[in-house]
Amino acid sequence: MKPMWLFSILSPLTDFANLITDYFIEIWDFLIFIGNISAFIVVLVGAILWFTGINDKRGKGLIFSGILLAIIIQYFMFYPPSFVL
């Protein structure tokens, strides 16, 4: 059994750690959002380059890269890091 005064001393520290954890969670969600948008834009630009015939090789590469980015983002959505103390 820990003394009661120890809990009162650690309370501001745990509040601060919880605040930082909440910020990490918000930043993580924002990065996932940006990753989804980026994957969509990369695939779209690649499809435009490929199907219009401007640059077939680069278009195919962009489509592959966008799909790979979307898969990686989806993995991090399914298995996010645990921001717990």
pLDDT, one tens digit per residue, over 16-70 is 888 898 999 999 999 999 999 999 999 999 999 999 999 999 999 999 999 999 9
pLDDT at position 13 = 81
DSSP state of 18: H
pLDDT at position 3 = 58
pTM comes to 0.78
